[in-house]
Amino acid sequence: MKKRETRLILALDVLSRNKALELVGSLGGYFDAIKVGYPLILAGGLGILKEISSLAPVIADLKIADIPNTNRLICEEALRAGACGLIAHAFPGQDSLKACVKSTRAYGADLFAVTEMSHPGASEFMAPLAESLAKAAVEAGATGVVAPATRPERIKLIRSIIGDKIIISPGVGTQGGSAADAIKAGADYLIVGRSITGADDPVAEAERVLSQVKASLP
């Protein structure tokens, strides 16, 4: 993972290749990485990873959650396409998660495991398991975890389990999370999407979030 500079990761959930490249062109300097997930990959093709990765580091958010062999195949496709970071679910278990860690390491890339998601429904099944999922991420050798900016107290708890592994944290802005609170709770990077990509002035919004991050650092 690129050294923490802005501590921001852009969630690029747009459906047009041109729009995606336009946003990366104008916003790239505000973000340490660009997160690309199913919406853009399905709409624009896997080649979009290569195009964007020539401009900025790309994390492929495929929330990989299959048996070890299938996980390996998915990881290798995304890594060959240019991703330098991948997001996987921890719940399929150590063997599945370790397959992702092994693949990413072979490419010098990072693997982030989801602990508890940021939306309200995560309280049904994920929250009761989040501590075990965080421990599983550490045991598997993941680079870090995904933890919710919508519940900063959960970032704190997960930080106490994972030590100095990296926390990337979605949920700032549209989902209601505060950039300052998530950073103060221990997030290393914030994942921000719609509140910036859908703003009338995305650059001004990125600047606003960046100034909140800077103001909340010790």
If one counts every other C-beta atom within 10 angstroms of the C-beta of residue 126, the result is 20
Give 33-78 as a DSSP string: EEEEEHHHHHHH-THHHHHHHTTS-EEEEEEE-S-HHHHHHHHHHH
CA distance 187 to 209: 14
Q: Does 80 bind ligand 3DU (CB under 6 A)?
A: no
Residue 204 contacts by C-beta under 8 Å, 6 or more apart in sequence? none
Q: Which of 34, 111, 142, 146 binds ligand 3DU (CB under 6 A)?
A: 146
Stretch that binds ligand 3DU, among 66-74, 137-145, 155-163, 168-176 (CB under 6 A): 168-176
Nearer to ligand 3DU, 49 or 106 (CB): 49
Stretch that binds ligand 3DU, among 69-77, 136-144, 170-178, 209-217 (CB under 6 A): 170-178
Stretch that binds ligand 3DU, among 18-26, 48-56, 89-97, 110-118 (CB under 6 A): 110-118
Asked if 214 is an active-site residue, the reply is no
Determine the angle formed by the axes of helices 94-106 and 68-80, rounding to 10 degrees: 30
Q: Which of 70, 174, 212, 216 binds ligand 3DU (CB under 6 A)?
A: 174
Strand 85-89 vs strand 189-192: parallel, antiparallel, or unpaired? unpaired
Q: Does 104 bind ligand 3DU (CB under 6 A)?
A: no
Given 63, 102, 156, 184, the catalytic residue: 63
Q: Which of 2, 21, 37, 102 binds ligand 3DU (CB under 6 A)?
A: 37
The catalytic residues are 63
